[in-house]
Amino acid sequence: MSDSATPADLADAIRRQAVQAGVETPAVRGADWRLATVQTVNSDGTVLTTDGITARRLETYRAPAVNDVIVITVSGSGNWLAAGRMATAVDTLGSKLFARKAANTARNTTTTLADDPHLTVTVTANAVYELALTLFWTGPNAGGIKLAFSVPSGTAGRWSAYGPDLSMTSGGNTAQVRADSVGTLTTAIPIGASDTSHAMTAQPTGLVVVGGTGGAFTLQWAQNASNGSDTTLFTHSWMSLTRVA
């Protein structure tokens, strides 16, 4: 091959470099996607990013919030779209947080609510979850059990503890149940008991609305009335929170 380039060779090389530059440079290519951070959520279905771009949200990008890290994309004509929020935590929409008791826990002579050592998960700020638990336990009829939750600051919600009524009599399983709702997750709901020989079950359900602070969401429990016999929450009791918003 000759070491000297012809004008045609030079023109061809310049053309190839121009094409490559267009492929690699968004400003030349005219359409691209990238990450951005939401500064303002507008009422018309758009968001304003911290670098001054107004992008229209796709229908699938619901519940936008300030500081969301999102994917934005631009058309060749300059129209911007906000495709959706990037995953910034362990749970995303539709995902489930799950905790299972790995061992029995027994408590007696106490009515002071305390965290369960196993039934705890970490919730995300500004998220909404469906709450479900199935608890297996025994306890003295005179003691029973009461339930509540330890939650991050600013968390709200409503829940119902479906289980044996306080009027349950000692000595056997009966059909007496209660479903009691409260306006706060941190207010205890009492549940009745038969005796320490008959296993009980409770199935609390509810909705958890996390505020601007995420953190530990933990079942708390104690005896409803102080009693010297053990109230025991059994292995394989479980708690789950499914993110819905």
The string of pLDDT tens digits covering residues 161-217 is 888 888 888 876 555 666 655 668 999 999 988 888 888 899 999 999 999 999 999
What stretches of the chain adopt beta strand conformation (E)?
32-41, 46-49, 54-57, 69-74, 80-85, 96-100, 105-107, 114-123, 128-138, 145-150, 156-164, 177-182, 189-191, 200-202, 205-209, 215-222, 231-233, 238-243
> What pLDDT is recorded for position 122?
94
Residue 77 has pLDDT above 90, yes or no: no
First to last CA, the chain: 65
- Record the pTM: 0.67
Q: Which domains does the chain have, with CATH numbers?
A: 24-85 (2.40.50.140), 96-243 (2.60.120.760)
Most confident of 7-16, 52-61, 81-90: 52-61
Average pLDDT over residues 28-46: 85
Higher pLDDT, 243 or 92: 243
> What pLDDT is recorded for position 1?
46
| Separation of alpha carbons 136 and 141, rounded Å | 15
